[in-house]
Amino acid sequence: MGFLGRLFGSTYETVDVARARELLDGGAVLVDVRTTQEYRAGHAPAARHIPLDALGTRQRELSKDRPVVTVCRSGARSANAARRLATAGYQAASLRGGMTAWQRAGERVVAKNGRPGTVA
């Protein structure tokens, strides 16, 4: 934990797609914090959708016993979400580059009803 993490008692990681995949394969939960419209257009198949503006009231749906990887389109909103979750006591990470990086890395993106999706 870095200086700021020790000072404030919370910190989060920023991870690339390969590290996010390792975390997910190890049992982490992927939380997509984008809007409903963005999520429906294309998301990671295993992602749970909790929009950033609902995170405060819905974070209790997540277990503090499992790491959480947050994702948005490019990484800014997910960093905000990961910071908030870390402050609340979760093991949190933000996916650097967001769904754009996820798709570029060849990871699957699905739309509503499991059809192939796109990242807008």
- 86: annotated active-site residue: no
Q: Where are the domains of the chain?
A: 13-105
> Does residue 50 contact residue 31 with C-beta atoms inside 8 Å?
yes
pTM of the full structure: 0.90
Q: What is the DSSP letter of 45?
A: T
Output the CA torsion 7→59→92→50 (10° steps).
-140
Residue 9 has pLDDT above 90, yes or no: no
Q: CA 11, CA 7: separation in Å to the nearest integer?
A: 10
Residue 113 has pLDDT above 90, yes or no: no
96 is written with which tokens?
């650097």
Percent of the chain with pLDDT over 90: 88
* pLDDT tens-digit map of 21-78: 999 999 999 999 999 999 999 999 999 999 999 999 999 999 999 999 999 999 999 9
Residue 99 has pLDDT above 80, yes or no: yes
Residue 7 has pLDDT above 80, yes or no: no
Q: Point out the catalytic residue in the list 17, 72, 79, 86.
A: 72
Residue 120 has pLDDT above 90, yes or no: no
Report domain 13-105's class: alpha beta
Q: DSSP E strands: which ranges in the chain?
A: 13-15, 29-32, 48-49, 68-71, 92-95
pLDDT at position 8 is 52
